[in-house]
Every structure is written in C-alpha cells, then in structure tokens.
C-alpha cells in the first residue's frame, strides 16, 4: 500500500514485543526511515502528569501517590500491580484517554506538509488489549531470553521473567503478528530489518 504522494490512506501499524526485546529502538529506526511514530507508554506518562489524572489517582489511592503535587509513577505501579482491581480501574481510566490521544495524532498525519510513509504506534500490550483490529498491520519485536535479560540489567531493571506476568509470551505475540523481527543482533541489523518491514507495509 503506497502512501503520501498517491493520496492513499497512510498505513497504520501497531508495534509490540516482549520486555527488553528492543521495541523502542525499532520505533526509533522506523522514524528515521520516514514513519511517524508515537509510544503509548509516552502518552500514558503525559496523561499521568495532568491535573485531571493526578486528582483521580489521589482520590482513589491517597496523597502518597502524588507527593509534592506530582504523580509518583513508581508508587502508582506498586499499588496497581499488587491489586488487580486497582489495575483494572486505572486501565479503564487511562486507555480511553490514550486511545483518543492516538486517534487525534493519527488524524493529523495526512495534513503534514510531507506525509510520513506510515503511522506507527508502539503498544506493549497490543494483543493483550485486543487492539489488532485498530491497525492495518502489526509487528512483533522478539529477542532471545538471555539477550533480553542482559538488556534489562543494563537498564537497571530486574530480570525479564518477573515483569511479564500480564504479557503473552514472545511466541504468542509472534504467532499473532503480521511481521516478526528477531532483534538478537546489533543496531545496524535491526535497522535493516525495520527498513524491510516498512517497505513491505507501504508497498
């Protein structure tokens, strides 16, 4: 599907993958290759900085989640990952807002002076949230377990296994995605693979 000069609708792509598989690096590569990109995690962070969300969180969980008037994301995470009901409540508040923000971003893509080759949204829980129908194509970034553990350690995070309880396995993500990119090599290798994917989705 060609985009831009042909006047056809821009391809809308969902990017997902396992923790520490390299989603953010893949998103950066796609942007450098001419795609417009946005991260749902970044949108969540922006929303948590708003007065509206801060007020909702304080009302629900108390002042401890927003010391000094700013939401402490670590404190919120500690609460919601320990209490499934709290997590469900937060997701019900956040995800409609995230969806509206991304929809508005998508609407303005075609109005850019130079339309991008595609619009790409990074969504860690894309399949878990049942969002496949929202996209023209989906891409799963996967990496071998040892590589992911090493990357997580480099970022100061704990091992991958303890942070994946809510996620499908990499294999399940790969089975459901339209494109699968194995990110076990260096950055240049990932960039070559993402270039091929972008060529395929815009063809």
**For 23-77, how does the pLDDT look when each residue is reduced to its tens digit (9 = 90+)?**
999 999 999 999 999 999 999 999 999 999 999 999 999 999 999 889 999 999 8
What CATH architecture is 1-35+116-203? Answer: 3-Layer(aba) Sandwich (3.40)
Model pTM score: 0.85
Give the residue among 143, 114, 135 at the shortest CA–CA distance from 35: 114
Asked whether 141 and 58 are in contact (CB, 8 A), the reply is no
Indicate the pLDDT class of residue 138, thresholds 50, 70 and 90: very high
Q: Domain boundaries in the chain? A: 1-35+116-203, 41-113
φ, ψ of residue 94 to 5 degrees: the values are -80, -50
Taking the mean position of all CA atoms in its chain, how far away is CA 42? 8
Q: Mind listing the pLDDT tens digit for each residue in 67-121?
A: 988 999 999 989 998 899 999 999 999 999 999 999 999 999 978 888 899 999 9
* Topology adopted by domain 41-113: Rossmann fold (3.40.50)
Same fold? 1-35+116-203, 41-113: yes
For residues 143 and 124, give the distance between their C-alpha atoms in angstroms, rounded to a whole number.
Answer: 14
What does the longest C-alpha to C-alpha distance in the chain come to? 53
């Amino acid at each position: 599907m060609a985009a831009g000069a042909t006047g056809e609708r821009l391809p809308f792509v969902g990017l997902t993958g396992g923790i520490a598989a390299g989603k953010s690096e893949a998103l950066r590569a796609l942007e450098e290759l001419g795609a417009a990109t946005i991260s749902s995690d970044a949108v969540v962070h922006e929303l948590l900085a708003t007065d509206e969300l801060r007020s909702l969180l304080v009302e629900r969980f108390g002042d401890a989640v927003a010391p000094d008037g700013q939401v402490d994301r670590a404190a919120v995470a500690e609460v919601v990952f320990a209490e499934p009901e709290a997590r469900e409540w937060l997701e019900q508040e956040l995800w409609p807002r995230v969806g509206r923000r991304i929809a508005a971003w998508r609407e303005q893509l075609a109005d850019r002076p130079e339309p991008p080759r595609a619009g790409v949204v990074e969504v860690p829980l894309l399949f878990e949230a049942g969002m496949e129908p929202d996209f023209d194509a989906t891409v799963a970034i996967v990496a071998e377990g040892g590589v992911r553990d090493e990357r997580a350690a480099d970022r100061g995070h704990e091992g991958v296994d303890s942070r994946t309880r809510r996620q499908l396995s990499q294999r399940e993500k790969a089975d459901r995605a339209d494109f699968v990119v194995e990110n076990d090599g260096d950055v240049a290798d990932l960039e070559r693979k993402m270039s091929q994917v972008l060529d395929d989705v815009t063809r």
